[in-house]
């Protein structure tokens, strides 16, 4: 069976844990595993800009023995109306997996509908699930595990990172609080799904307005840009309502004394997070960025072994 990773909840709690276990192993023996040797090719498609995602996938696929093909879709027929279902069908005749960053989740779903190989979400308007694998790996390293730990995401609680923190966080058994200004709450569908998963894993979900209530005593404080890719010209005031949600020294003082700070980057320093916090002793942001590499290598290894006869063997 082909497994796609389009949203955080495409992995069950046990599967997410297995991918993170593998990521920990891969991080310790970085160049020892070459499950894509051949090399098997992986297409990595970008409808939006990227630094970390592009370079971590390209590096990771090469380290796994595979051949990364990075495609800026502006140079393809995607912008000229080629069917995304057709594109999925065609690409899967060439490559062993398709990784795609795009706008609407419907675009990714169309590629997956045509594809005969795993499709991975490298960020959509709705979700950023590869980022969350890296974040959870970082929380495991810094907090000794994920189950029972608390995380507050403050800022634009309607964006892809908020949605992914809700779904992936509760899948990992975490207590997830999100807080944003009026008009920037997560969709009820995502909150309901997160609550459903939390009831199964022992995690919990709280959607709050007050940032101080959200960060009170938490183990992890997370934020993201107030203006996501594609929102630059949407005519909304993406500064004024957000200032109370800035992650600064006084907000961080409300979290647990041992709390860590996460930000997926790129940061708008001085807006959603101050230099003092981003560069401070509680910041885990650069480990978090590094962990994209290890987590995505584990994900690709897992997806390309699942359902195949050799999946009974240890991946790699
Ligand atoms: N965090 C993240 O996805 O960064 P890029 O947009 O640079 O890939
Ligand atoms: N919410 C941000 C994340 C960037 C990695 C965006 O979509 O632009």
Supply the ipTM of this predicted assembly. 0.99
Q: Is the shortest distance between the CB of 225 and ligand 2 below 6 Å?
A: yes
Q: Structural domain of residue 64, as residue ranges?
A: 8-127+292-312
The ligand 1 site (C-beta within 6 Å) comprises 50-53, 123, 131, 264-266
Match 């949600």 to its residue by tokens.
Answer: 245
Q: Is the pLDDT of residue 142 over 90?
A: yes
Residues annotated catalytic, as ranges:
101, 128, 131, 224, 264, 292
Indicate which ligand has the atom closest to the C-alpha of 127: 2
**pLDDT tens digits, residue range 209-257?**
999 999 999 999 999 999 999 999 999 999 999 999 999 999 999 999 9
Q: Is the pLDDT of residue 42 over 50?
A: yes
Same domain, 17 and 103: yes
Q: Is the shortest distance between the CB of 87 and ligand 2 below 6 Å?
A: no
Any domain includes 1? no
The reported pLDDT for the residue numbered 80 is: 87
**pLDDT tens digits, residue range 266-306?**
999 999 999 999 999 999 999 999 999 999 999 999 999 97
Any domain includes 2? no
What angle in degrees, to the nearest 10, is found between the helix axes of 129-143 and 285-305? 120
Same domain, 155 and 266: yes
Same domain, 242 and 255: yes
Ligand 1 center–CA 309 separation, angstroms: 34
Same domain, 223 and 303: no
Ligand 1 center–CA 95 separation, angstroms: 23
Same domain, 90 and 190: no
Q: How many domains does the chain have?
A: 2
Same domain, 296 and 266: no
* Ligand 1 atom with the shortest distance to the CA of 48: 6
Same domain, 65 and 122: yes
Same domain, 187 and 271: yes
Any domain includes 3? no
């Amino acid at each position: 069976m082909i497994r796609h990773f389009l949203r955080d909840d495409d992995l069950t709690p046990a599967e997410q844990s297995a991918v993170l276990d593998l990521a920990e192993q891969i991080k310790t023996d970085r160049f020892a595993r070459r499950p894509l040797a051949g090399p098997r090719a992986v297409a990595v498609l970008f409808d939006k800009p990227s630094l970390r995602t592009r370079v971590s996938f390209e590096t990771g696929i090469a380290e796994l023995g595979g051949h990364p093909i990075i495609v800026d879709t502006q140079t393809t027929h995607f912008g000229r109306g080629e069917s995304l279902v057709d594109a999925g069908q065609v690409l899967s005749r060439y490559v062993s997996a398709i990784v795609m960053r795009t706008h609407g989740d419907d675009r990714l779903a169309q590629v997956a509908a045509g594809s005969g190989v795993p499709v991975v979400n490298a960020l959509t308007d709705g979700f950023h699930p590869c980022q969350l694998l890296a974040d959870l790996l970082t929380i495991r390293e810094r907090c000794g595990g994920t189950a029972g730990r608390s995380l507050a995401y403050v800022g634009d609680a309607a964006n892809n990172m908020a949605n992914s923190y809700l779904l992936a966080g509760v899948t990992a058994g975490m207590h997830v609080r999100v807080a944003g200004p009026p008009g920037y709450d997560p969709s009820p569908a995502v909150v309901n799904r997160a609550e459903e998963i939390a009831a199964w894993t022992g995690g919990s979900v709280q959607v709050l307005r007050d940032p101080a209530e959200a960060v009170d005593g938490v183990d992890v404080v997370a934020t993201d840009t107030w203006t996501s890719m594609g929102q630059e010209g949407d005519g909304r005031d993406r500064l004024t309502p957000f200032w109370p949600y800035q992650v600064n020294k006084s907000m961080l003082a409300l979290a647990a004394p041992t709390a860590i700070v996460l930000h997926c980057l790129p940061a708008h320093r001085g807006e959603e997070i101050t230099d003092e916090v981003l560069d401070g002793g509680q910041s885990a942001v650069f480990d978090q960025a590094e962990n994209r590499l290890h987590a995505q290598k584990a994900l690709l290894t897992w997806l390309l072994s699942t359902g195949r006869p050799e999946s009974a063997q240890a991946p790699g």
